[in-house]
Amino acid sequence: MSLLPRRTPLTSALLSRFRHPAQLIVGGFAAAITLGTVALMLPAATTSGDSAGLLRALLTATSAVCVTGLVTVNVDPHWSGFGEVVILALIQAGGLGIMTLATLLAVLVSGRLGLRARLLAQAETKTLHGTDVRRVIRNIVLFSLVSEAVLALVLGLRFALGYGEPPGRAAYLGIFHSISSFNNAGFALWSDGMMRFVADPWVSLPVAFAVILGGLGFPVVFELARAWRRPRTWSVLTRITVGMSVVLLAGGTLLFTAVEWDNPRTLGPLSDQVKIMAGFFTAVMPRSGGLNVIDISQMRPESWLATDILMFIGGGSAGTAGGIKVTTFGLLAFVMWAELRGEDRVNVGHRRVAGPVQRQALTIALLGVGLVAAGTFLLMFITPHSLDRVLFEVISAFATVGLTTGITPELPAAGQVLIIILMFVGRVGPLTIFSALALRERTRRYELPEERPIVG
């Protein structure tokens, strides 16, 4: 008797059509966006009872599935309760990963996984070993739901006890913003984001910590849970992710607090304690959180540039954050350090980093730079906005962050389409996109003579 799930004509057709796991990942995200767009185009999805239109629905659905947060209209009051539930479902699906949910469904139905399903789950979750993908997926789902439930409880109690919201409304606000925060989605039900909670540590700090937790990446979180007392045993992934995250969060907090300290339109009117807390929140959100407690459009250009850098780097691999990932950035830093020291091997801790991993990090970083440069050029060509604002918006879309200087609603249709493409490519990943386009992988069966050209 076969141990693999029984193939139906539909699954056989899909597997024969998509030979590479990356192709199914791209197709899965595209299908989710399509379904979300259709749902948001329904008259029931808006408070006015009129259809939102194709472009607005497509941009909102893409932003939700790609857990970004860039929109052309405020969630409330434009979208109805049904529309908000659709957006929330798309955020949850995008955060967990379409292929992760599909694989979990296969486990529940068949009770076992085939090889191709294991490869799909491994490609989406970026697990380091494919030997027990079912257990990994189960842990991912449980960890996500428990984390969201705890945050929803904290926020719901605060909204009910601190702001007088009715129990049902408080629970809904807690659930919506817990899912949005943990999945680094950047959606809020208030037009000013979370600026009204800038001085409330019971709202802003739990939201910030949820963004950090979701953005670390599932493999790192699981390893920390097992061996947080034994840092010498941590893998290269965990070492780089934790180290770079701490450095970027601490540096970002100091930078934003110092630069915006006396800005009368951001931190200036706040007390010293609230300024530090708001600086920390602002440093957390560029990792892909997308929420704000100060007016991003009123920040100084120096803060915009720092935010651009943090957004482009992003969060941890296999998490809900975007960007090129702190692992990529940190690994390239180790590559540069080894080259400067004249070493022919790249070592992190007590481990040597394989050559293919170094090339992959370089490829992802350069693809990201190229996409951001091309997107910035095109958006400047079709809009009258300045370079700093356009660059900010493009990086925010590519890194699936959702922070904005306020120009997204003003973009023409072509500009909104460009933002949609950047969000999709940024969420699925440049390397996955181009891998999905490859018909097959080729192995070179010969080596050419070596030559060393002049570099620099």
pLDDT, mean of residues 57-74: 94
- Considering the domain boundaries, does residue 456 fall inside one? no
Is residue 87 over pLDDT 80?
yes
Between 55 and 121, whose confidence is greater?
55
Q: Does any domain span residue 57?
A: yes
Whole-number pLDDT of residue 1: 36
Predicted confidence at residue 237, as pLDDT, reads 86
Q: What is residue 101's predicted lDDT score, i.e. its pLDDT?
A: 56
**455 in a structural domain:** no
> Which of 57-61, 121-125, 135-139, 279-283 shows the lowest mean pLDDT across its residues?
121-125
Average pLDDT in the chain: 85
Instruction: Please give the tally of structural domains in the chain.
Output: 1
Q: What is the pLDDT of residues 227-267, one digit of tens each?
A: 888 888 888 888 999 999 999 999 999 999 999 999 999 99
pLDDT the model gives residue 6 = 45
On the question of pLDDT at 186 being above 70, the answer is yes
Q: How high is the pLDDT of residue 172?
A: 96
Is 11 part of any domain? no
Q: Tell me how far CA of residue 56 lies from CA of 11, 106, 396, 408, in angstroms.
A: 33, 33, 18, 12
If one compares 360 and 112, the residue with the highest pLDDT of the two is: 360
**390 or 110, higher pLDDT:** 390
pLDDT over 50 (residue 11): no
Any domain includes 449: no
What is the extent of the structural domain holding 55?
Answer: 16-437
Residue 443 has pLDDT above 60, yes or no: yes
Residue 106 lies in a domain: yes
Average pLDDT for residues 279-291, to the nearest whole number?
A: 94
Is the pLDDT score of 217 beyond 60?
Answer: yes
Q: Give the pLDDT confidence score for residue 450 in this predicted structure.
A: 79
Q: What is the pLDDT of residue 394?
A: 97
- Compute the average pLDDT of residues 142-169: 95
pLDDT value, residue 10: 45
What percent of the chain clears pLDDT 90, i.e. is strictly above it? Answer: 59
Confidence of residue 76 (pLDDT cuts 50, 70, 90): confident
- What is the predicted pLDDT for the residue at 121? 59
Map the chain to HEC letters: CCCCCCCCHHHHHHHHHCCCHHHHHHHHHHHHHHHHHHHHCCHHHECCCCCCCHHHHHHHHHHHHCCCCCCCCCHHHHECHHHHHHHHHHHHHHHHCHHHHHHHHHHHHHCCCCHHHHHHHHHHHCCCCCCCHHHHHHHHHHHHHHHHHHHHHHHHHHHHHHHCCCHHHHHHHHHHHHHHHHCCCCCCCCCCCCHHHCCCHHHHHHHHHHHHHHHHCHHHHHHHHHHCCCHHHCCHHHHHHHHHHHHHHHHHHHHHHHHHCCCCCCCCCCCHHHHHHHHHHHHHHHHCCCCCCCCHHHCCHHHHHHHHHHHHHCCCCCCCCCCCCHHHHHHHHHHHHHHHCCCCCCEECCEECCHHHHHHHHHHHHHHHHHHHHHHHHHHHHCCCCHHHHHHHHHHHHCCCCCCCCCHHHCCHHHHHHHHHHHHHHHHCHHHHHHHHCCCCCCCCCCCCCCCCCCC
Res 431: pLDDT: 58
Residue 122: the pLDDT is 57
Residue 181: pLDDT band by 50, 70, 90 thresholds?
very high
Q: What is the pLDDT of residue 424?
A: 93
- pLDDT, tens digit, 9 for 90 and up, residues 299-325: 999 999 999 999 999 988 777 888 999
Q: Could you tell me if residue 192 is inside a domain?
A: yes
pLDDT at 14: 46
pLDDT at 39: 96
The answer to the question of residue 2 being in a domain is no
Under the banding of pLDDT at 50, 70 and 90, the label for residue 115 is low
Q: How confident is the model at residue 128 (pLDDT cuts 50, 70, 90)?
A: low
How much of the chain exceeds pLDDT 70, in percent? 84
pLDDT at residue 4 in the model: 39
